[in-house]
Structures are given as structure tokens and as C-alpha cells.
Amino acid sequence: MNKQELICINCPIGCHLEVTKTDQGLKVSGNQCKRGEIYAVNEITAPSRVLTSTVRVNSSFLRRLPVRTNKPIPKSMIFQAMEIIDKIVVNTPITIGDVITDNLMRTGVDLIASRSLSE
């Protein structure tokens, strides 16, 4: 396929992007700013996402703690990452931003707490 259409997710404008493969590389049109071009090229060549999920927690207040990766990870690794995250159990207290697992799957990306939990 020489052309692909995408919607930029970097801001609420949601520009409709068209990516064309040319002999000189990928050509992006429809973007109103440089971020759209960067997003489109990344989405075609190495798609990645910030992963949000929850982990089990030993707490009398909440049974699961919301977590997220501190940077995007490759989309191809998300299923395996979810299997790892599903086995994690943490103890309180937790402070928002605490590293739950560092270097998740050797990506250099950390899994961090999305909220604090005192008990």
C-alpha cells in the first residue's frame, strides 16, 4: 500500500493525515504542525503507545492500583506486557509516580503508579 490515512491523536484538532511512500521516503500531508508528521512516521514505522492498566495491591481500601508506562512502548509488546503486569502485586503505601517495575521488558520504560495509596 502506497498511501495510508491516519488521524493525529496529539491534540483535539485531530488532523486527517495522509502518508505516502515515495522513493525519497514517507511524505506526510494534512498535518497542521510538525508533531503530526512525527506521529504519522512513527505510526507507520514503529507504532507505540503509553500502556495504562492496574496491578493488584495489598490494601484494605483498593484492590487494584492504576498504573501506566512513563513512555510509550512498542504496540507489538503490549500483550506480553499485560501478562507481566497481571502478575504484579504491590504493597502500600504508594506515592503517585512510584516505579512499580523498572525497565519493563528491557524497553528502558518504567511502569509507574498513577495515584497515591496510603493504606
Which residues are bridge partners to 26 per DSSP? 21
Cβ(28)–Cβ(53) below 8 Å: no
Q: Is 14 in the site for ligand SF4 (CB under 6 A)?
A: yes
Place of cell 506526510: 28
Q: Which stretch binds ligand SF4 (CB under 6 A): 4-12, 63-71, 79-87, 104-112?
A: 4-12
Cβ(89)–Cβ(58) below 8 Å: yes
Cβ(57)–Cβ(91) below 8 Å: yes
Residues 6+ apart with CB under 8 A from 22: none
Q: Which stretch binds ligand SF4 (CB under 6 A): 6-14, 62-70, 76-84, 100-108?
A: 6-14
Q: Is 99 in the site for ligand SF4 (CB under 6 A)?
A: no
**Nearest distance in Å: CB 69, ligand SF4:** 21
Q: Which of residues 20-59 bind ligand SF4 (CB under 6 A)?
A: 31-33, 35-36
Q: Which is nearer to ligand SF4, 33 or 99 (CB)?
A: 33
The DSSP secondary-structure symbol of 104 reads G
Contact footprint for ligand SF4 (CB under 6 A) = 8, 10-11, 13-15, 31-33, 35-36
